Chain A
Amino acid sequence: MIYLAKMSEETKRVLIALAIIILLIFVLIGLIGTAIRRLAKNQGLQVDTFMHDVVKTRVVKTPFKFRQLAYRKNHRLLFMQAWVPFLMLLISFAFLVGYMGIAKRWDFNVFDYYGTDGTNGEGFTTLFFIFDFKNAPRTDFFGMSIVSNWPPVLNSPYLAKEAWPSYVFTPIFLVGAVWFLVCVEAYMARLYRIWVLSKKVFIKKLEDYDAAKNPLDPASTLNE
C-alpha cells in the first residue's frame, strides 16, 4: 500500500492502463470461448438428427445400443466431413516430400527466412516480419523483466524464388490443418452429445407419478 502511495502519477496511470488491457484480453478470450462453446453445441445437435428415427421407432431401446450405433454413425460422419481437409494435408505432405526427393534437398527448411545472405530464404517466413525478441530492450516491472520497446527486426517481408515450395505447401497445409481441427472439434462435440443423450433419453421418471391415484394399467404401460 505504501509502495502504491509512493508511486508517481505517471506510474499509476500506466498501471491502470495495464490492468484495463489485461481485463480486456481476458474478456476477449471469454467471448471467443463462449462462441466456440455455442458452435460446439450446434454441432452436437447433429446427433439428434441422425438418431431421431431409430429412437422414435424404438429400434434402439437401451443406452448401450444407442451409444454403439451413435459412435458408428459419428465415425462415419467424421470421415464424410474430414476427407477433404485430410486429402489437403496428404497432398501438401506428398508435395513437400516429393520436392525434397526430386531436388535431393532433404535439409529443406520450411521456416527458414534468412538463407545464406538474407535474400534467399526458403521458408514461408520470408513473407513475415521476424523480430529478435531475445535481444529486445527490457525493463524491470515489479521484479519481472518485461519487453519495454520494439525488438530489433531480423527480417522484412520479401519474395524469394527459392521458397516457392514453401509458398505452395504452407497455405494448403494450414487450410487443411485448421479445417481438420474444426472437424475434430465437431466430432468431440458430437461425442459429448451422444453421452448426454444416452443418459437422458431412456430415463423413466417417477417424479409426477402417483401410484395411489393412477393404478398401474399393464396394457397401457406395455403399449407405450
Chain B
Amino acid sequence: MLKFFKFFGQGLLYTLLLPFLLAFLALFAVYSVLIMVFYFFKMIILFFAGRNIFKDFPEDIEAKEIIEQVRSTKAEKEEKATQQPPPPTYVFPFPSPYGFYPNPNQPPIDQKEIKEVESKPIEIDEDKK
C-alpha cells in the first residue's frame, strides 16, 4: 500500500515536472542534431584524409599499452614461478671407485673431522711372557 502511494506521489511529481522535462529534452534534441551535423561533416573530411572517425583516442591507446605491459609482466612472473631450473648434468669421466656416483643434488653432510691416528705396531712385553 505504501508503495502504491509512493508511485502516486511520483506520478504527481512527474506530471508537475513534465513540461520542464520535455523542454529539457527538446533543447538536448536540438543540441544533438547539431552534434550529428558536426560529426557528419567531420566524418566526411576525415574519410577523404584517409582517417577514421571511430578510431581509438590517444588515451585509449595509452591505456591499452599499459594493460598489455602489465599483462606481459604478470605472465613472465608466473612463467618464472612455475618453471623449475633443469637439474645440472654431471659428467664423470672415470669409473667411480665406490661403485656408485654421488648424488649431485644431495646436500653436503656436516661431518666431524676425524683425526688420523698414527698407526704403531703393538709392543709386547717380553718379560711378561
Contacts and interface: CB of A to CB of B under 8 A. Distances in A.
B28 A184 contact: yes
Interface string B50-63: 00011001011011
A75 B35 contact: yes
A23 B13 CA distance: 13
Given A26-B8, A57-B63, A57-B67, A79 B28 contact: no
Contact of A25 (B4, B11, B59, B66): B11
State the majority secondary structure of interface residues on B: helix
Size bin of chain B's contact surface: 20 to 34
Contacts of A21: none
A30 B25 CA distance: 19
A86 B10 CA distance: 33
Nearest to A31: B7
A169 interface: no
B74 interface: no
A79 B11 contact: no
Contacts of A48: none
A34 B39 contact: no
Given A75-B35, A181-B25, A187-B32, A57 B62 contact: yes
A193 B35 CA distance: 19
B11 A187 contact: no
B60 A86 contact: no
Interface in B44-80: 53-54, 57, 59-60, 62-64, 66-67
A185 B60 contact: no
Contacts of B64: 53
A27 B7 CA distance: 5
Contacts of B10: 29-30, 33-34
B8 A184 contact: no
B57 A72 contact: yes
Size bin of chain A's contact surface: 35 or more
A60 interface: yes
B28 A188 contact: yes
Given A26-B11, A27-B8, A75-B39, 13 more contacts: A25-B11, A29-B14, A30-B11, A53-B63, A60-B59, A73-B57, A79-B39, A83-B36, A180-B29, A184-B28, A184-B32, A187-B28, A188-B25
Closest 4 CB pairs of A and B: A30-B11, A26-B11, A30-B7, A30-B10
24 contacts: A26-B15, A27-B8, A29-B10, A29-B15, A30-B9, A30-B14, A33-B11, A33-B14, A34-B7, A34-B10, A53-B67, A57-B63, A59-B63, A72-B57, A76-B53, A79-B40, A82-B32, A82-B36, A180-B29, A180-B32, A184-B25, A187-B32, A188-B24, A188-B28
